[in-house]
Structure 1
Amino acid sequence: MSISNTNGTKSEQEVRVWMDGCYDMVHFGHANACRQAKQMGTYLVVGVHSDAEITKHKGPPVFSEQERYKMVRAIKWVDEVVEDAPYVTALETLEKYNCQFCVHGDDITVTADGVDTYHIVKAAGRYRECKRTQGVSTTDLVGRMLLVTKSHHEPDDMLPDRENTLRMSLCKESVSPWTGASQFLATTNKIIQFSNGREPEPTDKVVYTAGAFDLFHVGHVDFLEKAKACGDYLIVGLHSDRLVNRYKGSNHPIMNLHERVLSVLACRYVDEVVIGAPYSVTMELINHFKVSRVIHGRTTYDSDIDGQNPYEVPQALKIFEQIDSGNPMSTQDIITRIIDNRLEYEKRNKKKEAKEAAAYATFQKLKAENLNESTAVNVGQQK
């Protein structure tokens, strides 16, 4: 195992927390778990499983281990990343990294043999739970890509019958016995929890960039890191679902606006997000946010709906620049990975759901037995 530090030094009152997982297709649900775990202590160590471990217990991951390591390092609440973390969390792991306890969501993950991966730390009393974020999972996102449906961002009453049928199929395919099939509901409180809450200083050089940032991935991380290096305060504009669908077509975006907002806000390089940003960068936007530089990647961009160049104003002001992130990955690359390996991922999803269902049935049985025992004790005491 190797370790990388991303934040400052250890304090005397430090409470080190361990959290581990696959972190495949890192989304705002993963980030929210890290946020909650960090609140339980002062220093968060995240263990990320290798490709070999994930393939053995769940099936092939969508992202490579190196891509997943980098994605987790970019989550703002993560202080340290442990690569090639063991799939079953042992006390030796907690001791090695000086962690007082382990945190996981309020569901069960199991090995290839159906064993709870946290049974050791649970038995030792060194396990804590955080709330799982409803309405999102890697399984769900893979399902959206495989089904080629826009139901994740269009209102029900605007969908044709076929789309509604696919939506019901999607819910059925991605259902978890622990959380049920539910839609993510954005709240102002959730956005506040993810936000830095820091206004730019008067002397800060404000950088602005905008786009879809769909299926937030390692290519986005590399780009945003380079964009942040162009100034002191980075604002990211997120285009609406309708706008993204206009210039990307098909079932884009895969993640709806609110999901994309939280995914971008969780990135340590981002200071602020503009929700539903305009496609063209206007003088009003530049003046309002006191933007010093407007950044775009090396990819080409379409004209606005009126045929105008969306970056005409910042270009005229000589504050526009296209930068090379050094990472050619795109959202379409991820979709291609899923489509090219459709059968493997469908098989993986079914395998995961079967193991979850078995574990949940055992959990419910034990819960019922404990309830019956408790009832019997209470009845005996009353007599």
Structure 2
Amino acid sequence: MDTRDKILNVEDFVQIRSNRDLGRIVFTNGCFDILHPGHVDYLERASSLGDTLVVGLNSDKSVSRLKGPKRPVNPARDRTRVLAGLACVGFVLVFEEDTPYELICKVRPHVLVKGGDWPVEKIVGRDIVEETGGMVLSLELTPGHSTSRIIDRISNG
């Protein structure tokens, strides 16, 4: 599949899901502003939990609301392209809201995953996934890697 074919709006994804067997769908979401080894490790581990990894990506406006006016560093068109270039990522869907709740309702994943800084009971969309017998997991983060740390290092020389 061409990398650009992995970047969809939610309506197109729903159409593909209804016409094709995507197997066990794993969903995660985030800003993925400056992709680093911790992100790649996390996404590879998330992908290993199923057949198709769907990444919900916060839009630029959503990132700014969540992280502040200096973020994102990279615009959504660049962040989607980089994520879609990873072999472990099946699809990338940009969402405008502050949480992926509505997106999760439409994607209907079998597995919902967030990083270890999110306790399972606080993961948005947990109710949707568990209602249908799915799994919700919090994966341990890779130590020593964070976007904030990279930004601080760049800012402070």
TM-score by length of structure 2 reads 0.76
What secondary structure is seen at the aligned counterpart in 1 of 2:28? strand
Aligned partner of 1:221 in structure 2 is: 40
Q: Tell me by how many angstroms 1:193 deviates.
A: 4.9
* 1:181-212 Cα distance to aligned partner (Å, 9 max, x none): xxxxxxxxxxx653359956526100011110
Residues 210 and 243 of structure 1: is their aligned pair in 2 closer, same or farther, counting only changes over 3 Å? Answer: same
1:334 maps to which of 140, 150, 156: 150
Query: Is the aligned partner of 1:311 residue 2:128?
Result: no
Residues 331 and 315 of structure 1: is their aligned pair in 2 closer, same or farther, counting only changes over 3 Å? Answer: same
Residues 203 and 220 of structure 1: is their aligned pair in 2 closer, same or farther, counting only changes over 3 Å? Answer: closer
Q: Tell me by how many angstroms 1:233 deviates.
A: 0.2
Q: How does 1:238-277 map to 2 (within 5 A)?
A: 238-276=57-95
Q: Tell me by how many angstroms 1:340 deviates.
A: 2.9
Cα pair 1:265 1:271 within 8 Å, conserved: yes
What secondary structure is seen at the aligned counterpart in 1 of 2:113? strand
Query: Is the aligned partner of 1:195 residue 2:9?
Result: no
* 1:127-151 Cα distance to aligned partner (Å, 9 max, x none): xxxxxxxxxxxxxxxxxxxxxxxxx
* 1:294-316 Cα distance to aligned partner (Å, 9 max, x none): 11001249xxxxxx973353465
What secondary structure is seen at the aligned counterpart in 1 of 2:110? strand
Structure 1 segments unaligned to the other structure (5+ residues): 1-75, 77-191, 302-307, 342-383
Aligned partner of 1:87 in structure 2 is: none
Give the Cα–Cα distance (whole angstroms) in 1 for the partners of residues 69 and 103 of structure 2.
Answer: 29
What secondary structure is seen at the aligned counterpart in 2 of 1:195? helix
Give the Cα–Cα distance (whole angstroms) in 2 for the partners of residues 245 and 295 of structure 1.
Answer: 23
Residue identity in the other structure for 2:149: D
Query: Is the aligned partner of 1:208 residue 2:38?
Result: no
Residues 326 and 213 of structure 1: is their aligned pair in 2 closer, same or farther, counting only changes over 3 Å? Answer: same
Residues 309 and 291 of structure 1: is their aligned pair in 2 closer, same or farther, counting only changes over 3 Å? Answer: closer
How many equivalent pairs are there?
Answer: 144
Structure 2 segments unaligned to the other structure (5+ residues): 8-12
TM-score by length of structure 1 reads 0.34
Q: How does 1:22-101 map to 2 (within 5 A)?
A: none
Residues 258 and 290 of structure 1: is their aligned pair in 2 closer, same or farther, counting only changes over 3 Å? Answer: same
Cα pair 2:26 2:50 within 8 Å, conserved: yes
Residue identity in the other structure for 2:147: T
Give the Cα–Cα distance (whole angstroms) in 2 for the partners of residues 297 and 309 of structure 1.
Answer: 10
The percent of aligned pairs where both chains have the same amino acid is 27
Give the Cα–Cα distance (whole angstroms) in 1 for the partners of residues 74 and 22 of structure 2.
Answer: 35
Residues 216 and 309 of structure 1: is their aligned pair in 2 closer, same or farther, counting only changes over 3 Å? Answer: closer
Residue identity in the other structure for 1:290: R
Q: Give the structure, 1 or 2, with the largest relative contact order (CA under 8 Å, sep 6 or more).
A: 2
Larger Rg: 1
Give the Cα–Cα distance (whole angstroms) in 2 for the partners of residues 309 and 296 of structure 1.
Answer: 7
Give the Cα–Cα distance (whole angstroms) in 2 for the partners of residues 274 and 313 of structure 1.
Answer: 21
Give the Cα–Cα distance (whole angstroms) in 2 for the partners of residues 271 and 277 of structure 1.
Answer: 20
* 1:260-317 Cα distance to aligned partner (Å, 9 max, x none): 11111111110101022543343x534532310111001249xxxxxx9733534653
Give the Cα–Cα distance (whole angstroms) in 1 for the partners of residues 155 and 104 of structure 2.
Answer: 40
Cα pair 2:26 2:113 within 8 Å, conserved: yes
2:136 maps to which of 310, 317, 320: 320
Give the Cα–Cα distance (whole angstroms) in 2 for the partners of residues 204 and 277 of structure 1.
Answer: 27
